[in-house]
Amino acid sequence: MRRSSRLGRLALVAALATAFLAGLGVDHVASAARRNQAQPYRPLDVFADVLAHVENSYVEEVDEKDLVYGAIDGMMARLDPHSVFMRPDVYRQMRDDTTGEFDGLGLELTIQDGDLTVISPVVESPGERAGIHPGDRILSIDGTTTREMTLAEATRRMKGSAGTKVVLEIMREGFTAPQKLVLVRDRIRTQSVDLKILDAERRYAYVRIRTFQERTDKSLTKALDDARTQLHG
Protein backbone atom coordinates (compact mmCIF):
# COMPACT_ATOMS: atom_id res chain seq x y z
CA MET A 1 0.00 0.00 0.00
CA ARG A 2 2.78 2.37 0.88
CA ARG A 3 4.68 1.46 -2.28
CA SER A 4 1.74 2.14 -4.58
CA SER A 5 1.08 5.42 -2.79
CA ARG A 6 4.72 6.43 -3.27
CA LEU A 7 4.57 5.50 -6.96
CA GLY A 8 1.41 7.54 -7.33
CA ARG A 9 3.04 10.60 -5.82
CA LEU A 10 6.08 10.19 -8.16
CA ALA A 11 3.81 9.92 -11.18
CA LEU A 12 1.96 13.06 -10.09
CA VAL A 13 5.21 14.98 -9.66
CA ALA A 14 6.42 13.78 -13.06
CA ALA A 15 3.17 14.83 -14.68
CA LEU A 16 3.30 18.26 -13.06
CA ALA A 17 6.94 18.69 -14.13
CA THR A 18 6.08 17.71 -17.70
CA ALA A 19 3.17 20.12 -17.76
CA PHE A 20 5.36 22.88 -16.32
CA LEU A 21 8.12 22.33 -18.92
CA ALA A 22 5.55 22.17 -21.72
CA GLY A 23 4.10 25.41 -20.46
CA LEU A 24 7.54 26.98 -20.51
CA GLY A 25 8.06 25.76 -24.10
CA VAL A 26 4.75 27.13 -25.29
CA ASP A 27 5.38 30.40 -23.47
CA HIS A 28 8.86 30.64 -25.06
CA VAL A 29 7.46 30.08 -28.56
CA ALA A 30 4.69 32.60 -27.95
CA SER A 31 7.18 35.14 -26.61
CA ALA A 32 9.43 34.64 -29.65
CA ALA A 33 6.44 35.10 -31.95
CA ARG A 34 5.49 38.30 -30.14
CA ARG A 35 9.08 39.58 -30.43
CA ASN A 36 9.15 38.80 -34.14
CA GLN A 37 5.84 40.59 -34.63
CA ALA A 38 7.06 43.59 -32.68
CA GLN A 39 10.40 43.63 -34.54
CA PRO A 40 9.74 42.30 -38.07
CA TYR A 41 13.08 43.56 -39.39
CA ARG A 42 15.32 41.81 -36.87
CA PRO A 43 16.86 39.64 -39.65
CA LEU A 44 18.44 42.85 -40.92
CA ASP A 45 20.70 42.67 -37.87
CA VAL A 46 22.21 39.53 -39.40
CA PHE A 47 22.71 41.33 -42.70
CA ALA A 48 24.37 44.27 -40.94
CA ASP A 49 26.69 41.92 -39.04
CA VAL A 50 27.72 40.07 -42.22
CA LEU A 51 28.24 43.35 -44.08
CA ALA A 52 30.47 44.63 -41.27
CA HIS A 53 32.52 41.40 -41.26
CA VAL A 54 33.01 41.57 -45.03
CA GLU A 55 34.06 45.22 -44.93
CA ASN A 56 36.46 44.67 -42.06
CA SER A 57 37.85 41.22 -42.81
CA TYR A 58 37.69 40.56 -46.55
CA VAL A 59 41.09 40.25 -48.24
CA GLU A 60 40.38 43.08 -50.67
CA GLU A 61 38.69 46.44 -50.28
CA VAL A 62 35.01 46.26 -51.19
CA ASP A 63 32.47 48.89 -52.16
CA GLU A 64 29.61 49.02 -49.66
CA LYS A 65 27.12 50.24 -52.27
CA ASP A 66 27.92 47.32 -54.57
CA LEU A 67 27.46 44.87 -51.70
CA VAL A 68 24.11 46.35 -50.69
CA TYR A 69 22.87 46.51 -54.28
CA GLY A 70 23.98 42.90 -54.79
CA ALA A 71 22.03 41.83 -51.72
CA ILE A 72 18.93 43.63 -52.99
CA ASP A 73 19.35 41.97 -56.40
CA GLY A 74 19.43 38.59 -54.65
CA MET A 75 16.34 39.41 -52.60
CA MET A 76 14.35 40.40 -55.68
CA ALA A 77 15.52 37.29 -57.54
CA ARG A 78 13.93 35.16 -54.79
CA LEU A 79 10.49 36.52 -55.65
CA ASP A 80 9.90 35.72 -59.32
CA PRO A 81 11.63 36.18 -62.71
CA HIS A 82 9.86 39.49 -63.34
CA SER A 83 10.72 41.39 -60.15
CA VAL A 84 13.98 43.33 -60.40
CA PHE A 85 15.75 46.13 -58.60
CA MET A 86 16.66 49.01 -60.89
CA ARG A 87 19.94 50.62 -59.95
CA PRO A 88 20.12 54.41 -60.42
CA ASP A 89 22.07 54.23 -63.70
CA VAL A 90 19.67 51.64 -65.12
CA TYR A 91 16.68 53.75 -64.07
CA ARG A 92 18.14 56.86 -65.69
CA GLN A 93 18.74 54.93 -68.92
CA MET A 94 15.16 53.64 -68.91
CA ARG A 95 13.85 57.14 -68.25
CA ASP A 96 15.86 58.51 -71.19
CA ASP A 97 14.60 55.70 -73.41
CA THR A 98 10.95 56.27 -72.51
CA THR A 99 11.02 60.08 -72.74
CA GLY A 100 13.23 60.12 -75.83
CA GLU A 101 15.09 63.20 -74.57
CA PHE A 102 18.53 63.50 -72.97
CA ASP A 103 21.69 65.61 -73.08
CA GLY A 104 24.51 63.95 -74.99
CA LEU A 105 26.02 63.31 -78.42
CA GLY A 106 23.21 61.39 -80.09
CA LEU A 107 25.12 58.26 -81.09
CA GLU A 108 23.58 54.80 -81.25
CA LEU A 109 26.33 52.39 -80.20
CA THR A 110 27.15 48.70 -80.01
CA ILE A 111 30.11 46.50 -79.11
CA GLN A 112 31.46 44.77 -82.23
CA ASP A 113 34.50 42.48 -82.05
CA GLY A 114 35.40 44.14 -78.77
CA ASP A 115 35.31 47.66 -80.25
CA LEU A 116 32.85 50.41 -79.37
CA THR A 117 31.17 50.92 -82.74
CA VAL A 118 28.68 53.49 -84.02
CA ILE A 119 25.41 52.08 -85.38
CA SER A 120 24.21 55.49 -86.53
CA PRO A 121 24.09 59.10 -85.34
CA VAL A 122 20.74 60.64 -84.45
CA VAL A 123 19.53 63.14 -87.05
CA GLU A 124 20.67 66.73 -86.32
CA SER A 125 22.70 65.57 -83.31
CA PRO A 126 26.26 66.64 -82.37
CA GLY A 127 27.44 63.25 -83.63
CA GLU A 128 25.93 63.80 -87.06
CA ARG A 129 27.16 67.41 -87.26
CA ALA A 130 30.69 66.23 -86.42
CA GLY A 131 30.62 63.86 -89.40
CA ILE A 132 30.59 60.59 -87.48
CA HIS A 133 29.55 57.68 -89.73
CA PRO A 134 27.93 54.30 -89.08
CA GLY A 135 30.69 51.76 -88.54
CA ASP A 136 33.12 54.24 -86.99
CA ARG A 137 35.03 52.80 -84.05
CA ILE A 138 35.41 54.96 -80.97
CA LEU A 139 38.82 54.20 -79.47
CA SER A 140 38.70 56.57 -76.51
CA ILE A 141 36.42 59.00 -74.71
CA ASP A 142 38.16 62.00 -73.12
CA GLY A 143 41.42 60.07 -73.24
CA THR A 144 40.04 56.90 -71.62
CA THR A 145 40.33 53.80 -73.80
CA THR A 146 37.07 52.04 -74.66
CA ARG A 147 38.66 48.63 -75.28
CA GLU A 148 37.43 47.09 -72.00
CA MET A 149 34.58 49.57 -71.51
CA THR A 150 31.01 48.35 -71.29
CA LEU A 151 28.30 49.85 -73.46
CA ALA A 152 26.58 51.31 -70.39
CA GLU A 153 29.80 52.97 -69.22
CA ALA A 154 30.47 54.43 -72.68
CA THR A 155 26.94 55.81 -72.86
CA ARG A 156 27.30 57.32 -69.40
CA ARG A 157 30.56 59.04 -70.34
CA MET A 158 29.08 60.53 -73.50
CA LYS A 159 26.07 61.95 -71.70
CA GLY A 160 26.34 65.20 -69.79
CA SER A 161 25.02 68.72 -69.56
CA ALA A 162 24.24 70.45 -72.85
CA GLY A 163 27.07 72.81 -73.84
CA THR A 164 29.87 70.75 -72.34
CA LYS A 165 32.61 69.25 -74.50
CA VAL A 166 33.78 65.68 -74.99
CA VAL A 167 36.73 64.40 -77.05
CA LEU A 168 36.31 61.22 -79.08
CA GLU A 169 39.10 59.33 -80.81
CA ILE A 170 37.67 57.87 -84.01
CA MET A 171 39.02 55.18 -86.32
CA ARG A 172 37.41 54.54 -89.70
CA GLU A 173 38.12 52.30 -92.65
CA GLY A 174 40.38 54.33 -94.92
CA PHE A 175 41.95 56.33 -92.08
CA THR A 176 45.73 56.00 -91.80
CA ALA A 177 45.56 57.00 -88.13
CA PRO A 178 42.85 57.70 -85.54
CA GLN A 179 41.37 61.19 -85.51
CA LYS A 180 40.28 63.19 -82.48
CA LEU A 181 37.00 65.06 -82.64
CA VAL A 182 35.77 67.63 -80.13
CA LEU A 183 31.99 67.50 -79.79
CA VAL A 184 29.68 69.75 -77.80
CA ARG A 185 26.83 67.98 -76.06
CA ASP A 186 23.31 69.09 -76.92
CA ARG A 187 19.71 68.22 -76.13
CA ILE A 188 18.89 65.05 -78.04
CA ARG A 189 15.35 64.20 -79.10
CA THR A 190 15.13 60.75 -80.61
CA GLN A 191 12.44 59.72 -83.07
CA SER A 192 10.56 56.55 -82.22
CA VAL A 193 8.69 56.31 -85.55
CA ASP A 194 10.14 56.25 -89.07
CA LEU A 195 8.24 56.92 -92.30
CA LYS A 196 9.34 55.95 -95.78
CA ILE A 197 7.36 56.21 -99.02
CA LEU A 198 7.99 52.99 -100.95
CA ASP A 199 5.88 53.52 -104.04
CA ALA A 200 4.05 56.80 -104.56
CA GLU A 201 2.19 55.59 -107.62
CA ARG A 202 0.83 52.50 -105.90
CA ARG A 203 0.44 54.44 -102.68
CA TYR A 204 2.68 52.22 -100.57
CA ALA A 205 4.29 53.61 -97.44
CA TYR A 206 6.39 51.98 -94.72
CA VAL A 207 5.99 53.08 -91.09
CA ARG A 208 8.26 51.56 -88.45
CA ILE A 209 8.13 51.95 -84.67
CA ARG A 210 11.75 51.90 -83.56
CA THR A 211 11.18 52.27 -79.81
CA PHE A 212 8.19 52.76 -77.55
CA GLN A 213 8.31 56.16 -75.84
CA GLU A 214 5.90 58.52 -74.14
CA ARG A 215 5.04 60.23 -77.44
CA THR A 216 5.05 57.17 -79.70
CA ASP A 217 1.25 57.27 -80.18
CA LYS A 218 1.35 60.89 -81.34
CA SER A 219 4.39 60.24 -83.54
CA LEU A 220 2.65 57.27 -85.16
CA THR A 221 -0.48 59.32 -85.84
CA LYS A 222 1.62 62.09 -87.40
CA ALA A 223 3.55 59.61 -89.56
CA LEU A 224 0.30 58.11 -90.89
CA ASP A 225 -1.12 61.57 -91.58
CA ASP A 226 2.10 62.55 -93.40
CA ALA A 227 1.92 59.35 -95.44
CA ARG A 228 -1.66 60.07 -96.50
CA THR A 229 -0.75 63.63 -97.44
CA GLN A 230 2.24 62.56 -99.54
CA LEU A 231 0.42 59.69 -101.24
CA HIS A 232 -2.92 61.38 -101.87
CA GLY A 233 -1.67 64.91 -102.43
Which one, of 186, 87, 174, 85, lies nearest residue 136 by Cα? 174
At residue 151, the pLDDT reads: 85
Tell me the pLDDT tens digit for each residue of 167-194: 999 999 989 999 999 999 999 887 888 8
Residues 6 or more apart whose Cβ sits within 8 Å of residue 158: 104, 105, 107, 141, 166, 185
Comparing 38 with 97, the larger pLDDT belongs to: 97
Euclidean distance between CA atoms 53 and 199, whole angstroms:
69
pLDDT digits (tens, 9 = 90+) for 196-219: 888 888 888 999 888 788 888 888
* Residue 65: C-alpha distances to residues 51, 52, 87, 88, 151 (Å): 11, 13, 11, 12, 21
Average pLDDT, the chain: 81
Q: Answer whether residue 4 shows pLDDT above 70.
A: no
- Are the C-beta atoms of residues 207 and 220 closer than 8 Å to each other? yes
Q: Largest alpha-carbon pair distance within the chain? A: 121
Distance from C-alpha of 130 to C-alpha of 102, rounded to nearest angstrom:
18
Q: Which pLDDT tens digit goes with each residue over 106-158?
A: 998 999 888 999 998 988 899 999 999 999 999 999 999 998 888 888 988 99
* Model confidence band, residue 233 (pLDDT cutoffs 50, 70, 90): low
Confidence of residue 78 (pLDDT cuts 50, 70, 90): confident
Model pTM?
0.55
What integer is the mean pLDDT of 19-31? 48
85 vs 81: CA distance, rounded Å: 12
Question: Per-residue pLDDT for 55 more than 80?
Answer: yes
pLDDT value, residue 12: 41
pLDDT in tens, 8-20: 444 444 444 444 4
